[in-house]
Amino acid sequence: MFWDQESETLSRPALEALQLQRLQQTVSRLAARVPFYQQKFAELGVGPDDIRRLEDVRRLPFTTAADLRAIYPSGLLAVEADEPVRLHTSSGTTGKPKAIFFSRNDVNTAADMIARSLVAAGITRADVFQNMMSYGLFTGGLVMHYGAERVGCLVIPAGPGTSERQLMLMQDFGTTAVHILPSYALYFANYLEQKGIDPRKDLKLRKAFVGAEPHTEQTRKRIEEAFGVDVYNSYGLTEMNGPGVAFECEQKAGMHLWEDCFLLEIIDPATGEPLPDGQRGELVLTTLKREAMPILRYRTRDITSVIAEPCPCGRTHRRIHRITGRSDDMLIIRGVNIFPQQIEQVLMSMPQVGRNYLIIVEGLDDLTVKVELSDRGFDGQVEHLAALQNQLVEKLKAEIWVRPKVDLVPPGSLPVAEGKAKRVLDKRSL
């Protein structure tokens, strides 16, 4: 099933010709209207006439999160000041947020990308779509909402309310699909278990869209098993409209990145040099259809690689692999580079491990992993606890090459964040 079959299955040459045309238009607009880019173009000695082939994108300047913070709150408007109709900001974990402006067409384009994505995962107008992400400045609420509405679903703007209310809405309105943070999905699974609710029998859920934070394949499997649903990975970032940048189709094997809207590059984060398909590096995105605030070569800091092989679903837009981490999430412990996802992967593959964990780094690079036990997977015998603890230490050591301390804690005892999960507490920087 397709939302927009023609656009989604364009031949590669046609898609690339469209990309080039849109890139040229974007660069021309920026050169004519946006002082920030005018200055960067002047420094690099490039202009719209230099963009003759797609590879010429490499002559253009990068844009960084720091650039966007520095120009906050004014944005990089390429339209008249009264043109934008919507503002979102990124949650801004450090320092000032980044403000992103949308024109009416931008709002429509974002909704279309979501509609494509949901339909690619088998959503139809018959679905009841409960959006459990925060509404407000965060794009996971409104942007996803507009897209699901466009498909024709009954959309329930539940927001991140209490688990009790989420459950009530699911039961009362027969929710079939949810949009949810992976960390909250695991927490909600615990809640249902405590309430004695069996989602397979008591709810109508069939699909869950999870994203907005990194998670592993093991976490996907856990969510699928807990709820009896298909889980689809959804990637996006505020700077590029929010959700709907890249999305899994029914194959669940990598996320199609909508290449008629975004030009994709993978670079070596250290040198900025391009990397070939298949090689892991930093995702860099250029908006191709944005009116209000086009952005060139945005350094997402997200680490992934391109899957060049065509997808059996027939969509020609290339896929990216699950994000393995954000370059700024990388921990350096005793000289070794570690991504929190490596730890999650080990933990979530063990049935005795519950659904929450916390990574603590302190002192002289001491790594502690606090791990919740699962209710059912463990019998409470002390010697079994000690054995499990040792097993986890060894498995983690084999994965990350650093020997951590492992603390086993009771189910439900670790803190749960309001929004995106905070998995790492690095006390070295405090």
Residues engaged in binding ligand ADP (CB under 6 A):
90-93, 211-214, 233-238, 300, 302, 323, 326
Residue with Cβ nearer ligand ADP (123 or 180): 180
The dihedral over CA atoms of 176, 182, 185, 186, expressed in degrees to the nearest 10, equals 140
Residue 27 near Zn ion by CB under 5 A: no
Contact partner at residue 212 from ligand ADP, Zn ion, none, CB < 5 to 8 Å by partner kind? ligand ADP
Q: State which of residues 68, 113, 313, 359 lies at the interface with Zn ion (CB under 5 A).
A: 313
Between residues 109 and 139, which has the closer beta carbon with respect to ligand ADP?
139
* Choice between 244 and 404, CB closer to ligand ADP: 244
- Closer to Zn ion by CB, 299 or 317: give it: 317
Contact between 249 and Zn ion by CB under 5 A: the answer reads yes
User: Which of ligand ADP, Zn ion, none sits in contact with 311, Cβ below 5 to 8 A by type?
Assistant: Zn ion
Q: What one-letter code names the amino acid at 357?
A: Y
CA-angle at 74, arms to 137 and 244, nearest 5°: 40
State the binding partner of 249 from ligand ADP, Zn ion, none, CB within 5 to 8 A by kind: Zn ion
- As a whole number of angstroms, the distance between CA 305 and CA 281 comes to 6
Comparing CA positions, the residue from 391, 410, 407 lying closest to residue 399 is: 391
Q: Which does 236 bind (CB under 5 to 8 A by kind): Zn ion, ligand ADP, none?
A: ligand ADP
CB of 226 to Zn ion, least distance (A): 25
Find the shortest distance in angstroms from Cβ 263 to ligand ADP: 17
Sequence-separated (6 or more) residues with CB below 8 Å from residue 358: 369, 370, 414, 415, 423, 424, 425
Q: What's the closest the beta carbon of residue 367 comes to Zn ion, in angstroms?
A: 38
Mode of pairing for the β-strands spanning 230-237 and 242-248: antiparallel
Q: Is 319 exposed, middle or buried (0-12, 13-18, 19+ CB in 10 A)?
A: buried
The nearest distance, CB 305 to Zn ion, in angstroms, is 16
Which alpha helices (DSSP H) does 34-138 contain, by range? Answer: 35-44, 65-70, 104-120
- Closest contact distance (angstroms) between CB of 118 and Zn ion is 14
Answer yes or no: are the C-beta atoms of 172 and 179 closer than 8 Å.
no
Pairing outcome for strands 230-237 and 207-211: parallel
Q: Work out how close the CB of 417 gets to Zn ion at its nearest, in angstroms, rounded to a whole number.
A: 32
The rounded distance, in Å, linking the Cα atoms of 306 and 279 is 7
Binding mask 138-167 for Zn ion (x = CB under 5 A): ------------------------------
Q: Could you give the angle at which helices 382-400 and 340-348 cross, rounded to 10 degrees?
A: 140
For ligand ADP, which is the closer residue by CB, 27 or 100?
Answer: 100
Tokens of 18: 């469209």
Q: Residue 387 contacts by C-beta under 8 Å, 6 or more apart in sequence?
A: none
Closest distance between ligand ADP and the C-beta of residue 215, in Å? 6
Bridge partners of residue 235, in order along the sequence? 246
Phi then psi for residue 19, to 5 deg, are: -60, -45
Residue 40's binding partner among Zn ion, ligand ADP, none (Cβ under 5 to 8 angstroms by kind) is: none
Q: How far is the CB of 89 from ligand ADP (least distance, A)?
A: 8
Q: Which of residues 128 and 249 has its CB atom nearest to Zn ion in the complex?
A: 249
**Residue 27 partner contact from ligand ADP, Zn ion, none using kind-dependent CB cut-offs of 5 to 8 Å:** none
Length of the chain: 430
- The least distance separating ligand ADP from the CB of residue 238, rounded to whole angstroms, comes to 3
Binding of residue 311 to Zn ion (CB under 5 A): yes
Q: By C-beta, is 12 or 376 nearer to Zn ion?
A: 12
Under the binding rule (CB under 5 A), the answer on residue 359 touching Zn ion is no
Residue whose CB is less far from ligand ADP, 27 or 215: 215
State the Cα–Cα distance between residues 349 and 399, nearest whole angstrom. 13
What contacts 355, CB < 8 A, 6 or more positions away? 186, 187, 189, 190, 222, 372, 374, 411
* Residues that bind Zn ion in the complex, under the rule CB under 5 A: 249, 251, 311, 313, 315
